[in-house]
Amino acid sequence: MEINDFYEDITQGEADLILDLYEVIKKLVLSEQDVTLVRLGWELDIKPSELSDHIGTIVLILDNVEKEYGEV
């Protein structure tokens, strides 16, 4: 491992949120629905303002899902 490589420790709750985000984003992309903070918040029962703290993760997941499943 190079000196510039690092790993960030995350809690079990954060890991679960990331997995839940992935599943919901995948479902929305495959059903050709818009992925918005409001929709994600509704699906996950989380306030959109709380999800805004995770916008980087959400965008990364969305980008990867669109690449994996092709933009439908």
31-42: per-residue pLDDT in tens?
999 999 999 999
Query: Band of the pLDDT at 4, cuts 50, 70, 90?
Result: low
Structural domains in the chain (count): 1
Question: What is the pTM assigned to this prediction?
Answer: 0.83
Distance from C-alpha of 65 to C-alpha of 12, rounded to nearest angstrom = 22
Give a yes or no: residue 49 inside a domain.
Answer: yes
Give a yes or no: residue 10 inside a domain.
Answer: no
Distance from C-alpha of 15 to C-alpha of 70, rounded to nearest angstrom = 25
Q: Which residues have C-beta within 8 Å of that of residue 72, sequence separation ≥ 6?
A: 29, 30, 32
Give a yes or no: residue 2 inside a domain.
Answer: no
Backbone region of residue 9 per phi and psi (left: phi > 0; alpha: psi in -120 to 50; beta: other values)? beta
Query: Band of the pLDDT at 70, cuts 50, 70, 90?
Result: confident
Give a yes or no: residue 40 inside a domain.
Answer: yes
Give a yes or no: residue 28 inside a domain.
Answer: no
Structural domain that includes position 71 = 34-72
* CB distance 29 to 69 below 8 Å: yes
